[in-house]
Amino acid sequence: MQTITLSNGIKMPILGFGVYQIADLEECERVVSEAIEVGYRSIDTAQAYGNEEAVGNAVRKSGVPREVFFITTKVWISNAGYEKAKASIDESLRLLQTDYIDLMLIHQPFNDYYGTYRAMEEYYKAGKIKAIGVSNFYPDRFIDIAQFSEITPMVNQIETHVFNQQKQAQKIIDKYGTQIESWGPFAEGRNDFFTNEILKEIGEQYGKSVAQVALRYLIQRNVVVIPKTVSKERMIQNFDVFNFALTNEDMDKIAKLDQEQSLFFSHYDPETVEFLTGLGK
């Protein structure tokens, strides 16, 4: 598996497996177990997903040594603040059935995320978290926390796919030595993603699917990807993206698909902010 090296020297797989919206614990454990069988070693979960325990069960039962895995989870808005965040990290460790978390992120830039980050820094120094970062932090909030934290975030996980490529955000993130990570690399199928003619045409040249081309594009831009699926066949397909390379011409064609805006929500929209902060109460 190809890896990237975070600013503190920790190696992170460039391809992982996401478990967003797999709330049923039995199904999630099955799906993660299948992903591990396929070869995935990076698993991305979150407190808000309600499936940390299932991830922990699958990892424990796999027979694969814990140190081979790269497990990511995230502190939810309702657990923001120094004391609450510490308690929530302890709970995540318990549910994941592990002595340490490879990567801990602040899930959303709301509530007392500075207090949350201080708690994460403390656990990082104690060795209970191997790397820390943020998620959904747009450039303005990312710069803010990067400038005023003792430890610069090592990862920023943001919506990144062919229709919202985050080129400017990536430049800013790179400036601080932070790794960009994509959530929603398939745009959850929006904008007719899986039937896009340009992606199909490029894929046909290599005997690859639209999904594989989209993942390959992000990987060649040094973006970490965590595609989610409950189909083992698709897990295998998504994993099979390291035996071909897109040409500069291919990359240029895909670059032109960028609409430079979210297909989901904007943190600059007051209604969205009210909705998300409401979830944190």
Range of the domain at 183: 3-279
Q: What is the pLDDT of residue 279?
A: 85
Number of domains in the chain: 1
- 66-106 per-position pLDDT tens digit: 999 999 999 999 999 999 999 999 999 999 999 999 999 99
Q: What is the pLDDT of residue 195?
A: 96
Between CA 164 and CA 75 the distance in angstroms is 25
Q: What is the pLDDT of residue 53?
A: 96
Answer yes or no: are the C-beta atoms of 67 and 98 closer than 8 Å: no
Q: What is the pLDDT of residue 138?
A: 96
> How many CB atoms are closer than 10 A to CB 266?
12
Residue that is written with structure tokens 């698909």 in the block: 257
Q: What CATH number does residue 83 fall under?
A: 3.20.20.100
Answer yes or no: are the C-beta atoms of 145 and 137 closer than 8 Å: yes
152 Cβ contact list (under 8 Å, min separation 6): 7, 146, 176, 177, 178
Q: What is the pLDDT of residue 23?
A: 85
SS3 of 200-226: HHHHHHHCCCHHHHHHHHHHHCCCEEC
Catalytic residue among 20, 40, 49, 206: 49
pTM confidence score: 0.95
Whether 49 is catalytic is: yes
Cross-strand partners of 4: 12
Low-confidence ranges of the chain (pLDDT < 50): none
